[in-house]
Amino acid sequence: MRARATASASASDKNGPCQAIVSGIGRFQLARPFSVAYSASKTNHITLPASTNYPPRFETYPGRCRRDSFPDAALVVRAAAIASAVHGGEPPGNLLDEKPDRTHLDRVFLASNSPYASLPTEVLVQGEDVYDFIVTGAGSAGCAVAGRLSEDGRFRVLLLEAGPRDSYPWIHIPLGYHKTFNNPRVNWMFDSEPEPELNGRVMYQPRGKVLGGTSSINGMVYMRGNAADYDEWRQRGCEGWDYDSVLPYFKRAEDQQRGADDYHGVGGPLKVSDHRWQPSLARAMHDAAVEAGIPVNPDFNGATQEGVGYYQTTINKARRWSSARAYLGDAKGRRNLTIATGAHATRLLIEQGRAAGVEYRTPAGLSQARARREVIVSGGVYGSPQLLMLSGLGPATHLQTFGIPVLRDMPGVGSHLHDHFNTYVAYRCAKPVTMNDLALSLPRRLVAGAQYALARTGPLASMGLYVGALIRSDKRLERPDLQINMFAWAIKERNRLGVTPQPFSAFGLSPVHLRPDGRGTVRLKSPDPQAAPEIRFNFLRSSYDFQALIEGMRVCRRIAAQPALRPFVVEEILPGPHVTAEDDLKADIRARGVSNLHPVGTCRMGREVDAVVDPQLRVYGVQGLRVADASVMPSIIAGNTNAPSIMIGEKCADMVRAAA
């Protein structure tokens, strides 16, 4: 989380102390010459002796201070920065982004020797913070927007993220996503309301609460979807979003390990790679699918999507390559980009029909930042509609229930929620080659740890999902509506408490319905911005939803019965070989099926009367306000949603710059 400090200065301060009220501790840099100052009480007030002898430039160096050197957690600030603001001198280094005669500070650096040591490097300073652009949410799209808008130095950009830095070690180890799945340190850990067609079960919704958003905790599959998905967007009135129009943004974002061609780019910020390591089971799964009659597809993101093949990933040299790593890694030193973690956007400041800024909360309390040009909301499919509704943009009757003044009645905000839905067929494995074997054996875990530490290979270098297939549940369909994920592990249960693996060697084949009929909503549960939203999916609302999944389960069984997998299969354990009748399969889907964690559509783009944003991603009826994330998708794409979300961020940044 990002702390916030207050500093003030005036002409009368030049011969007296300058105070900073500090609420948290992060890393720090000492400036020379400097005056040591420390907290004299638990209120964390810091008094800095004034000096008139600071030179115009200050050499800085990173450092730490010993806990026993200073009482009360030793809050050390960069005194030279304070002096520069007080005395109107030249700002040292990259501390101050505006003119040196400003009367408040931009950043204060604090010591990292306290319980708050996990806080980020920079600490925002209260005052009349004014930026050209403010981006709320450092997720898949938000990082792309902020990174691109700040890259040429013309614009001053503030990126607000409610979560912390991506310093949790398991984020960066590919198989470590099982460790972030239910970790409140980096995960919002939302739950849906009970689902009527799922026997009243609640669908757990892990969402990234960290730099990189869900791209920092997801399964790292790089999948764009079907070209026809985007052409359908265009047919629905989203000009400029057909496949030919979005392909350049996919290519620009990409640094493709296989090289550049008509569909792929190199030199972009997002590393896309093949698996560095895979078990023998993965090859057997692939070959079994071919034996079952599914054609080979060497590139799901190429000329065609249908077929079986190996997934590409957002992994680089055996480390997760999130949107934060891609777009903020080289941007953190930019003077015109401020990245504020621990800063939860609570309300948009809308004045006379224009987005004028953002109110946000840090551990120090509420603060505001102003936007000269635009605010871009990138809070994700749950966070973006929640922020709009808290700001008075949403269904009027719903907002009035919570006493929120209605600025614009927008019934589409929070509506049209939909997601892929999956179930799975699980098999006991005859060979100890699954991730379950790894989880159940300490010696295997030690070997895997050594493989990863010494050579960046082995099970930890992957996410346990190597092979997939895109197929049609009905040959009369024009494009695939099923994705078969072939996992080198099988679970017993998945919920907010975590993922419980089967207590023996096992693997699973999972059919995913890519074109669900059900539509749900995101609504407020409370006017408190920190309260979780109310999420209702309305899964399995049509016979087609069931029929597609039933066909998917049958395909999984055909794959498992092929010669290539025969040496690995002992028996089907879920749902069990006796579950074959259609009614029994429906009952099993209701009992075990789950969200595939690809929600979209809650601020959908389009020309419909209840569309929230236009094809330029501008919120209807409010100037200077856009939404850029998966919530704007008018319909879900056939595949994983991280890559399309990044594409949306890339395209949004271009549209914003063109309008500036």
- 240 φ/ψ sector (left φ>0, alpha ψ -120 to 50, else beta): left
Q: How many angstroms separate the CA atoms of 366 and 621, rounded?
A: 27
CB-based contacts of 463: which residues, under 8 Å, 6+ apart? Answer: 174, 175, 177, 219, 220, 221, 313, 315
Asked if residue 586 lies in contact with residue 540, where contact means CB atoms within 8 angstroms, the answer is: no
First CA to last CA across the chain, in angstroms? 31
Which of 147, 130, 136 lies closest to 653 in space, CA to CA? 147
Nearest 5 degrees, angle CA 346-CA 323-CA 391? 15
Which of 486, 512, 466, 469 lies closest to 273 in space, CA to CA? 466
Q: What are phi and psi of 29, to 5 degrees?
A: -130, 140
Is 598 a known active-site residue?
A: yes
Tokens of 562: 């092929």
Q: Which amino acid is at 597?
A: L
Q: Where are any strands of DSSP class E within 448-602?
A: 465-471, 482-487, 491-495, 498-501, 506-513, 521-523, 534-536, 569-574, 594-595
Quick check: helix, strand or coil at residue 585? helix
What is the 3-class SS of 311-370, one letter each residue?
CEECEECCEECCHHHHHHCCCCCCCCEEEEECCEEEEEEEECCEEEEEEEEECCEEEEEE
Asked if residue 272 lies in contact with residue 254, where contact means CB atoms within 8 angstroms, the answer is: yes
Q: Name the strand (E) or helix (H) holding 539.
A: none
Active site amino acids: 598
